[in-house]
């Protein structure tokens, strides 16, 4: 319900009640301005797009912390979101009222952080900022998302260069004996590091030579360990095991029995091993011994597995399923350059289409003899005298 009244000082007081029944008023010097304002408010209420001006005065940080606490994030995602907001966002946008943040302001922030962060990190942080503003729009706190149209740095296209067999063998020989089976599983299955660390004895079917992926291990703040579901729904999968991996796992289980929880690969202090401890205890020394380029991590073994499948002629669909990708497009985006070039196949296809038919080869002992082709204009066979039709006309 809205009302309009003139005050003793001559100004016009326009009042209405919001969706929660709270009265909101505003004063105008002219009646026409007050009436226009009320009409606009009434139109937004009828259209379901009404925004309470008072709600938009809360700061970005206040709303972002409320939004973050309500999200069903996994522990690692929750930790990353909090770090990104505190390190890269709050110092610039944290104290700004939500309704006052302009698209140009968000663009200036994104450009500034692009000078000190990698493009992939900038895009990750920007997606969080956009999600916060999108939630504010859904809650009808602000009218539009100032991140719409945000221009972010392009991701550099890096061609995956798989490790060589010699490099893989050098890594295998350099890691401590208790982790050699882990390297073998990584090379023979292409599992992500968290999936490897989360392997338990019941995930291995030695008779069927298969491995089941249904969990992963991740490290949280401090030394706590999180055992949770895989990265995406498509990460749940069953991977066939090469015989050399089965043999490695068989020998590993005999020499290093699983811990009480059944984990195959454990840290020196007990419990499943995590990325930090594995890098320090095994990967970094082995990578140095194998003379790998600086910055090459354990994920390179996953690339090696994918390249091996591609070289063996497996289709994009199969490679995508083995890696646990959500779709084949993701696989092609990373490994398309590893598939054989189809230029020669294209040429051969056209050449075969227009090639003359092959000449039949007749064995010398065959009674069949192909008719000899007579010169143009001559009858190839003697049909005898021409017959005469009943009407007297020659054929």
DSSP-derived secondary structure letter, 280: I
pTM given for the model: 0.69
Strand, helix or coil at 363? coil
What's the CA dihedral at 140, 146, 151, 153 to 10 degrees?
A: -80
The mean pLDDT of the chain is: 85
Rg (alpha carbons) of the chain, rounded to whole number: 36
pLDDT band at 395 (very low <50, low <70, confident <90, very high): very low
Task: Write the pLDDT tens digit of every residue in 207-219.
Answer: 999 999 999 998 8
Asked if residue 111 lies in contact with residue 126, where contact means CB atoms within 8 angstroms, the answer is: no
Q: Is the pLDDT of residue 381 over 50?
A: no
Burial of 273 (C-beta count, 10 Å sphere; 0-12/13-18/19+): buried
Q: What long-range pairs does 170-174 form, CB within 8 A, spacing at least 24?
A: 170/286, 170/289, 170/290, 170/291, 171/286, 171/287, 171/289, 171/290, 171/292, 171/301, 174/285, 174/286, 174/289, 174/290
Instruction: Specify the CATH class of 57-138 in words.
Output: mainly alpha
Count of C-beta atoms within a 10 Å radius of residue 121: 15
Q: Where are the domains of the chain?
A: 2-50, 57-138, 165-337
Average pLDDT of the segment spanning 287-301: 93
Asked if residue 175 lies in contact with residue 286, where contact means CB atoms within 8 angstroms, the answer is: yes
pLDDT band at 336 (very low <50, low <70, confident <90, very high): confident
Asked if residue 175 lies in contact with residue 183, where contact means CB atoms within 8 angstroms, the answer is: yes
Q: Which residue has the higher pLDDT, 93 or 51?
A: 93
What is the topology classification, in CATH, of domain 165-337? hpI Integrase; Chain A (1.10.443)
Sheet holding 204-205, edge to edge: 204-205, 210-213, 237-240
What is the Cα–Cα distance from 178 to 181, expressed in whole angstroms? 7
What is the Cα–Cα distance from 271 to 254, expressed in whole angstroms? 18
Burial of 195 (C-beta count, 10 Å sphere; 0-12/13-18/19+): buried
Q: Is the pLDDT of residue 47 over 70?
A: no
Average pLDDT of the segment spanning 224-230: 86
Task: Write the pLDDT tens digit of every residue in 77-130.
Answer: 898 999 999 999 999 999 999 999 999 999 999 999 999 999 999 999 999 999
What's residue 96's pLDDT?
Answer: 94
pLDDT band at 387 (very low <50, low <70, confident <90, very high): very low
DSSP notation for 163-226: PPHHHHHHHHHHS-GGGHHHHHHHHHH---HHHHHT-BGGGEETTTTEEEE--EEEE-STT-EE
State how far the alpha carbon of 100 is from the alpha carbons of 53, 54, 136, in Å.
11, 12, 13
pLDDT band at 328 (very low <50, low <70, confident <90, very high): confident
Average pLDDT of the segment spanning 50-67: 85
Asked if residue 204 lies in contact with residue 251, where contact means CB atoms within 8 angstroms, the answer is: no
Residue with tokens 């999968």: 237
3-state DSSP percent of the chain in helix, strand and coil, to 5: 50, 10, 40
């Amino acid at each position: 319900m809205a009302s309009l009244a003139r005050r003793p000082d001559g100004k016009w007081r326009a009042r209405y009640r919001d969706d929660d029944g709270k009265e909101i008023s505003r004063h105008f010097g002219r009646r026409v301005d007050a009436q226009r304002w009320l009409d606009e408010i009434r139109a937004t209420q009828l259209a379901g797009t009404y925004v309470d001006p008072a709600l938009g005065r809360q700061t970005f940080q206040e709303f972002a912390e409320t939004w973050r606490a309500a999200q069903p994030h996994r522990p690692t995602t929750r930790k990353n979101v909090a770090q990104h907001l505190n390190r890269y966002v709050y110092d610039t946008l944290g104290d700004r009222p939500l309704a006052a943040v302009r698209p140009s302001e968000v663009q200036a922030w994104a450009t500034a952080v692009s000078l000190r962060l990698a493009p992939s990190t900038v895009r990750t942080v920007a997606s969080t900022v956009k999600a916060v503003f999108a939630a504010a729009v859904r809650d009808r706190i602000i009218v539009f998302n100032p991140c719409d149209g945000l221009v972010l740095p392009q991701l550099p296209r890096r061609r995956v260069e798989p490790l060589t067999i010699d490099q893989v063998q050098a890594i295998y020989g350099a890691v401590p004996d208790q982790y050699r089976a882990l390297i073998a599983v990584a090379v023979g299955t292409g599992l992500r590091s968290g999936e490897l660390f989360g392997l338990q004895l019941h995930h291995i079917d030695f008779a069927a030579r298969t491995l089941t992926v249904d969990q992963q291990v991740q490290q949280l703040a401090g030394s706590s360990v999180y055992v949770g579901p895989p990265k995406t729904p498509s990460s749940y999968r069953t991977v066939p095991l090469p015989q050399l991996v089965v043999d490695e796992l068989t020998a590993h289980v005999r020499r290093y029995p699983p811990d009480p929880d059944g984990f195959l690969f454990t840290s020196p202090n007990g419990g499943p091993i995590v990325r930090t401890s594995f890098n320090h205890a095994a990967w970094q020394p082995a990578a140095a011994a194998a003379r790998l380029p600086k910055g090459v991590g354990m994920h390179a073994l996953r690339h090696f597995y994918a390249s091996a499948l591609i070289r063996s002629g497996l289709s994009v669909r199969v490679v995508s399923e083995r890696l646990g990708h959500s779709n084949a497009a993701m696989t092609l985006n990373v490994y398309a350059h590893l598939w054989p070039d189809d230029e020669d196949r294209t040429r051969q296809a056209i050449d075969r289409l227009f090639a003359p038919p092959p000449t039949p080869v007749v064995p010398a002992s065959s009674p069949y003899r192909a008719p000899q082709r007579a010169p143009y204009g001559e009858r190839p066979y003697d049909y005898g005298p021409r017959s005469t039709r009943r009407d007297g006309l020659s054929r």
